[in-house]
Amino acid sequence: MTQLNQALERPTVPNDTPHLRSHIQAAAEHLQNDSEEMRQCSPEQVLYHDYMQAGAPHGPALYAVKGEHWNGVSPAFLDFINSFRFGRGDMGYAESGYGIQRHRNFMRRLIVSEHHLGERRPAAGLDIDVGCLAMTTRMAMYDMAKVALRHAMEHAPGKTPVALVPTPAWDYRGIFRDVGFEVVFLPLGPRNGWLPDLREWEAIVRDTLADGSRQIAMAVSNPQHNPTGMQWPVEVTRYLLKLCAAQRGFLLLDDAYYCVHDPRAPVVNHLKALLEAFDDKDGKGDAGVLARSGMFERWVATRPFGKQFSCNTMGVAAITTSPKMLRHLNRESWINRYHTNTHNAELMCAWLATPEAADWTIETGLFYTRQKELVRARLKERMGWSDAGLCVGPSTSYMLIEIPGVYQDTNGGIDRFRDDLFFATGTLVSASLFNQTAPVPYVRLHLGSHPDVIEEFLRRWEAAGLRYDMAQTFGGREALARPVAPPVFRQQA
């Protein structure tokens, strides 16, 4: 019998789809750390090491913790990157940490356009400037925190500088505590539909200031909120703006998810609302008070693009503020770092100018909406969750999932559930990373990966017996001895 050339043999049916394979490979590369000392900095790397030592019983590790998911980048953007040609001048140190003039001009036009500021005619001293940062917004927040701390020490000597930070939230705490602020958390929860309760926040502020030993030196507004996806009303930013003006504090407006939302839902424009608060032409009312307080020199709005195009490693952002405040930020940048990554800014500005970038922004907003609906429906229909236990807002690439009741009565419940779920299924979600004071027992699931990856998350969860009303915990590392069966494709009926 004639034998086929071995090179022509048909390959075996794979256990994973191509997108799942690329996720698995990237997750392994990012989670593996052979240094015992270094991996102690990352709970995820510690868990991954333990899981691999046990032989990865449930299959390759899957990751949905932070916004970096490694295989959800816009295909058109990836093609754009791979064909882009840099010039020699893109490769050296830059004179300004907040962008060369050409990039700053582009970012200003983008901010004016996308935040609908074209008709604004600011009074003297109230015009904005826009920086093009190529080092992630966390660096800009560090710069801002240092400026704000010096200001607090000068204008409120002897008082403890306080930063007001929402919770659950991104890790603002890590920045402000590191710089020297006391952090006071402003809670969000299901009781108020995951929106700020300003009466509750006002009570916390009163208690904070009651003995006269503290000053509100910083406050954070995160309008398209991470991780709930809820859009805050503009009254929240206005409240924090007036509070900071009265306290001689600074306001951070973190617009990280401004364009990462369901495009069918109107986007709430807090940057425009903030500027309108200064624009009362007769100088009376709040606008007059704000102008006289010097508050226009004490706010910063951050707008990164990594989340919009799933390319967080590029770290390019628009930084909107007053010209004077941008100078202060730039000075801090000079003190603390060399200015690099101009090539990333060149690439991002060029990409943002293409029709494909605008198309992807609409497409990815609908993609996240579909992903949230997929997970919401599966958890409700097959694993016992109710609507009250799931937070699915129109913005951000995350959703919140209430931990099973049995873990709510367990010591260290949120982190314990995250660990146990990984040992039982090989899937990683975010726990106390975002939920710093654990006011609500929820974990965060990132939904940026391809649907094949999310499907495998859900398949493993269901196969391992995850339910909201599960009678007992997974049992920690004991679950490593109970492997979840692998997926089977093209099985014969």
The predicted-structure confidence for 157-216, as pLDDT tens digits, reads as follows 999 999 999 999 999 999 999 999 999 999 999 999 999 999 999 999 999 999 999 999
Q: Please report the pLDDT score of residue 289 as a whole number.
A: 80
The arithmetic mean of pLDDT across residues 101-115, rounded, is: 97
Provide the β-strand partners of residue 429. Answer: 64
pLDDT tens digit sequence for 286-295 = 667 888 899 9
Q: At 377, which amino acid appears? A: A
Whether the pLDDT of residue 491 is over 80: the answer is no
Radius of gyration of the chain (CA): 24
Tell me the average pLDDT of the chain. Answer: 92
pLDDT of residue 327: 97
User: What pLDDT digit, counting tens, does each position of 312-357 carry?
Assistant: 888 899 999 999 999 999 999 988 888 888 999 999 999 999 999 9
Q: What is the pTM of this model?
A: 0.93
**Higher-pLDDT residue of 37, 487:** 37
Alpha-carbon distance of 222 to 260, in angstroms, equals 13
What is the predicted pLDDT for the residue at 206? 98
Statement: residue 263 has pLDDT above 80 = yes
Taking CA atoms, 298 is separated from 72, 225, 269, 292, 369, in Å, by: 36, 22, 19, 12, 35
Residue 3, pLDDT > 70, answer no
> What values do phi and psi take at 295, rounded to 5?
-65, -25
* 116 conformational bin, left if phi > 0, alpha if psi -120 to 50, beta if neither: left
Q: What is the DSSP string of 289-349?
A: HHHHHTGGGSEEEEEESHHHHT-GGG--EEEEE-HHHHHHHHHHHHHH-----HHHHHHHH
For residue 288, which amino acid is it?
G
Rounded-to-integer distance, Cα 179 and Cα 227, Å: 24
Give the model confidence (pLDDT) of 202-255 as tens digits.
999 999 999 999 999 999 999 999 999 999 999 999 999 999 999 999 999 999
- Residue 71's pLDDT is what? 72
Q: How far apart are CA 348 and CA 71, in angstroms?
A: 19
Q: Give the pLDDT of residue 68.
A: 60
Q: Can you tell me whether residue 488 is helix, strand or coil?
A: coil
Torsion region of 170: left, alpha or beta (phi above 0 gives left; psi -120 to 50 gives alpha): beta
Mean pLDDT of all residues in 30-34: 95
Reported as a single tens digit per residue, the pLDDT across 360-369 is 999 999 999 9
| CA distances, 368 to each of 308, 364, 394, 430, 451 (Å) | 11, 6, 9, 18, 10
Give pLDDT, residue 45: 95
State the pLDDT at residue 12.
76
Give the pLDDT confidence of 117-129 residue by residue, as tens digits. 999 999 889 999 9
C-alpha 91/C-alpha 341 separation (Å) is 8
> What's residue 440's pLDDT?
83
Residue 262 binned pLDDT confidence (cut-offs 50, 70, 90): very high
Average the pLDDT over 83-111 and give the result: 93
Burial (0-12, 13-18, 19+ Cβ within 10 Å), 420: buried
Q: Over 60: is that where the pLDDT of 282 sits?
A: no
